[in-house]
Amino acid sequence: MTAAAYYPVVLDLHERRCVVLGNTALAEEKAAGLRASGASVVHLRRGFQPGDLVGAYLAIDASDDPDGQRGARAEADRERVLLNVVDVTPQCDWIAPALVRRGPLQIAISTSGESPFLARALRERIETMIGAEWGPFTTLTGRMRRRLRRAGVSGDAQQHAYRRLLRSRALGMLREGSEAAAAALALTIEQSAHATDRGVPTGEVVLAGAGPGDPDLLTMGTRAVLADADVVFHDALVGPEVLRLCGRRTRLVDAGKRSGRRSAAQAGINDAMIAAARAGELVVRLKGGDPYLFGRGGEEVLALQRAGVPVRVIPGVSAALAAPAAAGIPVTHRGVAASVAFVTGHRAGGDLAAFDDLAKSVDTLVVLMPAELDAIAGRLSAVLGPDRPAAIVSQATTAEQQVVRAPIGSIAAAARAARLEPPSTLVVGDVVNVLSDGGMSRADRQTLAGALAAPG
């Protein structure tokens, strides 16, 4: 059965006669909500009686009286009154949505009567994302709109100004209680809008971390810039689930680098980002994991700064921590591991002497993208001993995640047998088995094994 199609509207009820029926707490709540909207409310604290709805514009029956509700429905049809019978969807002309109110900003959530619980749950989620600062921000935007229209600023220039305000520090200033600073910033953006037809102001580049794969692990900051971005230059390992968070008008550019395959040159990526920003666009460079952890983020920031392009960085959750965590491996654990080091597979296969020293100096070693797993595992086996616990986590945090545990001396063979797909992360150290072994350290396990093997 398909739910009825409802047309969402925002009604002006100022001084219109609205009737509420019922002597219930819900009826009181409905009457209060109508009064807050400026309606002329008649609250009858009883069930329906003939004539109650005559002359009304809108009515709510919250009486819990089935016979009265049927009577109200019949009179509403005769008098052409819009009626809502609470929790009786078939008798409703309209359904009251769950509301998030932030001053002049109102967000309505409706499930077409299918699930009031779900509407409330979504409202509560949105309330945590849309803070109180959005009320004064809406007012600030409204003032800017009226002034720009009076000044005859073109529509395109207005839209550019609104986008700049939304992407600016104004919301943060309002969140911190600095309304004067936010108003001053809005005026600066407004003044620049008058010159937009003569020259487009430079946009901005944001380096944002896409996390390890699961879109739920993106930060709220990254989600916001993806929704607003004009163009997103994304890495090859950024999955379609993450890219679906981009706005409908956002252009997507695959800027990924793939080992052994033709891929985008770094200089070309830099030039394309600079050109887009100089055209006034919000550019997002979306990088797997965290932009500054083996992501060449620093190089890109320097290139953008040299070109005079505004740039900022939003950190991301790195697979260096997320992959072990998703596999149930704490990279540190009291009594087991107090230190951890992160290294790329490229570094591990290059400067072997430095790699050996690093492996011996920490309790847990995490190797990202260990493409030459046989060589890396062989080196670690020689340095740490072939029995050191190890694990490979493939496609961490995604639906395709696989985890293989084995001693470092045989981890490469185990990974091949499991046909693991990249990207993968290698974790080496006693923490690999600490949770599956009940939290015991290697020394504790050896002591227990010795006790069990002792005579008697």
Tens-place pLDDT, residues 84-141? 999 898 899 998 899 999 999 999 999 888 888 999 999 999 999 999 999 999 999 9
Of the pLDDT bands very low, low, confident and very high (cuts 50, 70, 90), residue 47 is very high
Determine the pLDDT at residue 259: 55
DSSP state of 369: S
In the residue annotation, 93 being an active-site residue is answered as no
Q: How far is CA 326 from CA 316, 363, 398, 402, 421, in A?
A: 16, 19, 9, 10, 16
The residue from 214, 235, 290, 430 that is catalytic is 235
Rounded distance between C-alpha atoms, residue 140 and residue 155, angstroms = 18
Rounded distance between C-alpha atoms, residue 391 and residue 431, angstroms = 10
Based on its alpha-carbon atoms, the radius of gyration of the chain, rounded to whole angstroms, reads 31
Determine the pLDDT at residue 3: 55
Sign of dihedral through CA atoms 308, 309, 313, 318? negative
CB 318 within 8 A of CB 289: yes
CB 240 within 8 A of CB 254: no
Summarize the confidence of residues 299-322 as an average pLDDT: 95
Rounded distance between C-alpha atoms, residue 83 and residue 105, angstroms = 25
Look at the block and give the residue holding tokens 């007012």. Answer: 139
Question: Taking 80 as the threshold, does the pLDDT of residue 58 lie above it?
Answer: yes
DSSP helix/strand/coil, 7: coil
Q: pTM for this one?
A: 0.79
Lowest-pLDDT choice from 50-64, 113-127, 264-278, 339-353: 339-353
The residue from 93, 228, 257, 437 that is catalytic is 257
Secondary structure, 3-state, 78-117: HHCCEEEECCCHHHCCCCCCEEEEECCEEEEECCCCCCHH
Of the pLDDT bands very low, low, confident and very high (cuts 50, 70, 90), residue 456 is very low
Q: What average pLDDT is seen over the chain?
A: 89
In the residue annotation, 257 being an active-site residue is answered as yes
**Torsion, CA 450, CA 453, CA 454, CA 456, rounded to 10:** 150
Summarize the confidence of residues 191-213 as an average pLDDT: 80
Determine the pLDDT at residue 16: 96
Determine the pLDDT at residue 308: 94
Determine the pLDDT at residue 192: 80
Please indicate whether residue 449 or residue 112 has the higher confidence score (pLDDT). Answer: 112
Residue 162: Cβ within 10 Å count: 16
Residue from 374, 369, 315 nearest 342 by CA: 369
Tens-place pLDDT, residues 361-383? 999 999 999 988 998 999 999 99
CB 183 within 8 A of CB 259: no
Of the pLDDT bands very low, low, confident and very high (cuts 50, 70, 90), residue 195 is low
Q: Which domains does the chain have, with CATH numbers?
A: 17-96 (3.40.50.720), 99-129 (no CATH), 134-193 (no CATH), 204-314 (3.40.1010.10), 321-433 (3.30.950.10)
Determine the pLDDT at residue 440: 45
